[in-house]
Amino acid sequence: MLTWIIAIVMGGIIGWLASIVMRTDAQQGIFLNIVVGCVGSILGRFLFGRFLGGGHLRGDAFDPMTLLTAFIGAVILLAIVNLVRRGRVR
């Protein structure tokens, strides 16, 4: 149970940092930051897990490579959403 709470908190922080980098912070609330962080973690692990390493937010939430792949995945996810929504990455 505690691992899920840690994953949600870390996902929220990662989603918030990614939204600051992509300049969508004013449009998102806490819930969307959590969703972006968690889904971005899955995307980042799928795309870069073999190259950078890293595990799941649920198990290895404080591993630097897990945090890096989650952050990169969240930024890519927000770029895709911006591209679909506005027609540009920003």
Compute how many other C-beta atoms are within 10 angstroms of the C-beta atom of residue 21.
13
Number of domains in the chain: 1
Compute how many other C-beta atoms are within 10 angstroms of the C-beta atom of residue 2.
6
Gyration radius of the chain over CA positions: 12
**Domain range enclosing 9:** 2-19+30-86
Let me know if residue 25 belongs to a domain. no
Let me know if residue 56 belongs to a domain. yes
Let me know if residue 24 belongs to a domain. no
Q: Is the pLDDT of residue 87 over 90?
A: no
Let me know if residue 68 belongs to a domain. yes
Task: Quickly state the pLDDT bin for 88 (edges 50, 70, 90).
Answer: low
How far is the C-alpha of 50 from the C-alpha of 81, rounded, in Å? 25
pTM, two decimal places: 0.85
Residue 28: left (phi > 0), alpha (psi -120 to 50), or beta?
A: beta
Let me know if residue 72 belongs to a domain. yes
Compute how many other C-beta atoms are within 10 angstroms of the C-beta atom of residue 90.
11
Let me know if residue 59 belongs to a domain. yes
Let me know if residue 12 belongs to a domain. yes
